[in-house]
Amino acid sequence: MQTLPPRQMDILDIARREGRVDVESLATSFGVTPQTIRKDLNDLCDMEKLSRVHGGAVFPSSTVNLAYQARREIAASEKARIAEAVAELIPDNASLILNIGTTIEQVAYALKRHRGLMVITNNLNVAMILAEADGIEVVISGGMVRKTDGGIVGAAAVDLIRQFKVDYAIIGASAIDEDGALLDFDYREVRVAQAILGQARRSILVADHTKFERRAPVQIGKLSDLDVFVTDEQPMPEIVEICRNADVELITTGGEEVEAAAG
């Protein structure tokens, strides 16, 4: 078994705990140059202990999701900007369903200023965020509460969601393949997400750029089946082309807005 230098062992521990590391933060933490950290990351990636991404590296797992608090901290400001853009798409007096995820939580915060909303959710965190908001009615699904993130999954959640027909579905995904497949880790959560999409007149996907760097084993559906995709950076050309061909409106918040569908 290969013994790693102490700094690389520490970097690996941070990546395992937080899911992602970036060059600049590591350089500051360890008091070394970014070039030194890049070499460390390259060494760890060559040993397949990490996977290199732009600006850093991620802990490679395609079957187990990151800890929920770690997911909250990844791309936190980007998620907040995505949420604000989504809130601008939702008028007052609308009905909508929100599913599980840290970006979805940010959407809930951004919706608190709306009036006359009915929000159905299988997310305890979303329900708590919106419960005290004036002018917003919250309906929460039944079912098993997943202790790791407050998500409610299972047949009971699906049954309740199917009783509604709403104006908007707003969903997240754990990963997005370059072919436009929307992926997650828990097949029970996927069943709920599929039910949500089936009960909405207009569907919105929210996902930051890190979701293109990850893999997950269970497919929710396809990007081409949705109406709007809100993200923080312009995606790879393959994703832009999928949106254009499927008439999916693509909105980016990290720079110049890109719309892949006219109107």
The three-state DSSP-derived secondary structure of the chain is CCCCCHHHHHHHHHHHHHCEEEHHHHHHHHCCCHHHHHHHHHHHHHCCCCEEECCEEECCCCCCCCCHHHHHHCCHHHHHHHHHHHHHHCCCCCEEEECCCHHHHHHHHHHCCCCCEEEEECEHHHHHHHHCCCCEEEEECCCEEECCCCEEECHHHHHHHCCCCEEEEEECCCEECCCCEEEECCHHHHHHHHHHHHCEEEEEEECCHHHHHCCCCEEEEEHHHCCEEEECCCCCHHHHHHHHHHCCEEEECCCCCCCCCCC
Q: What is the pTM of this model?
A: 0.74
Same domain assignment for residues 52 and 74: no
pLDDT above 70: residue 2: no
Query: pLDDT tens digits, residue range 192-203?
Result: 999 999 999 999
Whether the pLDDT of residue 70 is over 90: the answer is: no
Provide the domain count of the chain. 2
**How far is it, in rounded angstroms, from Cα 231 to Cα 78?**
8
Question: For the domain that residue 191 is a member of, what is the CATH number?
Answer: 3.40.50.10470
Domain check: are 29 and 117 in the same one?
no
40 and 77 both lie in a single domain: no
Same domain, 22 and 97: no
What is the per-residue pLDDT for 225?
95
Whether 166 and 112 map to the same domain: the answer is yes
pLDDT at 77: 85
Please name the residue that has the structure tokens 């050309």.
237
Counting residues of the chain whose pLDDT is more than 90, the rounded percentage is: 63
Q: Domain containing 18: what range?
A: 6-60
Same structural domain for residues 22 and 140? no
Distance between CA 163 and CA 135 in Å, rounded?
22
Instruction: Count CB neighbours of 166 within 10 A.
Output: 19
Q: How confident is the model at residue 163 (pLDDT cuts 50, 70, 90)?
A: very high
Q: Is residue 262 part of a domain?
A: no
Instruction: Give me 9's structure tokens.
Output: 């062992």
Cβ proximity of 225 and 181 under 8 Å: no
In a domain, 263, yes or no: no
Query: Are 123 and 100 within 8 A, CB to CB?
Result: yes
pLDDT surpasses 80 at 73: no
Task: Give yes or no: residues 30 and 148 share one domain.
Answer: no
158 domain residue, yes or no: yes
- Asked if residue 45 and residue 166 are part of one domain, the reply reads no
* Confidence band for 25, pLDDT divided at 50, 70 and 90: very high
211 and 103 in one domain? yes
**Residue 260, in any domain of the structure:** no
Asked if residue 261 belongs to a domain, the reply is no
Q: What is the CATH number of the domain that holds 34?
A: 1.10.10.10
Question: Would residue 258 count as lying in a domain?
Answer: no
**Quick one: pLDDT at residue 181?**
96
- The last residue of a domain, from among 60, 85, 104: 60
Choose one of 14, 40, 60: the last residue of a domain.
60
